[in-house]
Amino acid sequence: MKGIVFNILEEVVEKNHGAEAWDTLLEAANVSGAYTSLGSYPDAEMQALVMAASKHLGITPAELLHRFGRDAMPILKQRYPELFSTHPNSRSFILSVNSIIHPEVRKLYPGAMCPYFHMKENDDGTLDMTYSSERHLIDLAQGFVLGAADVFGDRVEVERFPPGSGKENMLRVKWL
């Protein structure tokens, strides 16, 4: 996983829980914490941080990833305003993730393994996003969708489908 993700996680943790919380989290996860934005680090280090933070906060790893994704989006907008400025709303932004956002991420961070989303716009105005990635971070993706809506001032509902439904890798987004 690219170091920028770890850097943003550190910023979110420090913003919400203080600078000491990041050091406590690194110690609990038994990871070094020396992450450069262009570096690549084992996914296991992020998993260890998620598990340690989940335990510390008393929430599930899914809830933690959801919160992180949502809190990360304003930081991403601040760091990369050009990725947001051409979009009038979160729907436009989300629809550009495969064709514009992730290719730009790969330019900035060579070797980044971005997920792919199969998008289907439905007659009722909802958007089905089927998540495809070896990392299985659909909870993070859900948080990013909600964070994008927050950044653009949109209201959305994001439906998750239960395991075994055949749709467990899909998000259904409804703009309100």
Percentage with pLDDT > 70 across the chain: 100
How far is residue 103's CA from residue 101's CA, in Å, rounded to a whole number? 6
Where exactly are the structural domains of the chain? 87-176
- The proportion of the chain whose per-residue pLDDT surpasses 90, expressed as a percent, equals 86
With respect to CATH, is domain 87-176 assigned 3.90.1520.10? Answer: yes
Q: What is the pLDDT of residues 47-97, one digit of tens each?
A: 999 999 999 889 999 999 999 999 999 999 999 999 999 999 999 999 999
In this model, does residue 143 exceed pLDDT 90? yes
Handedness of CA 162, 165, 176, 147 (dihedral sign): positive
Q: What is the pTM assigned to this prediction?
A: 0.94
The predicted pLDDT at position 108 comes to: 85
CA 21 – CA 15 distance, rounded (Å): 10
CB 151 within 8 A of CB 164: no
Give dist(CA 36, CA 147) in Å, integer: 24
Q: Are 69 and 150 in contact (CB under 8 A)?
A: no
What's the mean pLDDT in 11-40? 93
Sheet containing 170-175, strands listed edge to edge, beginning at the edge strand earlier in sequence: 116-121, 127-132, 170-175, 156-160
